[in-house]
Amino acid sequence: QKEVEQNSGPLSVPEGAIASLNCTYSDRGSQSFFWYRQYSGKSPELIMSIYSNGDKEDGRFTAQLNKASQYVSLLIRDSQPSDSATYLCAVKGNNRLAFGKGNQVVVIP
């Protein structure tokens, strides 16, 4: 089992809709979880961090963490064309981050 899995293929959403991304992780002892956005040809930039079970909202973004089920998700409300990017889930453990391979989101105007 990979440390961090993001299995969904490219996600196409109409402008204004909700984009939902999921991520599962294998290390039950992980305590820190992050979502990064990466535009094509650019470096990853942090958009959300979450450390405890439940929801965390920041603007149009909501991160959800369920440690018992070992998954973390990201919701993007009122999706905009500028949200078109690859979203990387990252989980912290043993001094380093493990990254999923990312989910591409395409927002269709």
Which residue ranges make up the site for other proteins (CB under 8 A)? 4, 31-32, 34, 42-46, 49, 51, 88, 90, 92, 95-102
Minimum Å distance from CB 7 to other proteins?
12
> For residue 56, which of 86, 38, 33, 36 has the smallest C-alpha distance?
33
Minimum Å distance from CB 99 to other proteins?
4
Cα angle value 7/23/74 (rounded, 5°): 115
Structure tokens at 23: 């991520």
Q: Between residues 34 and 107, which has the closer beta carbon with respect to other proteins?
A: 34
Q: Tell me the three state secondary structure of residue 83.
A: helix
Q: Between residues 61 and 99, which has the closer beta carbon with respect to other proteins?
A: 99
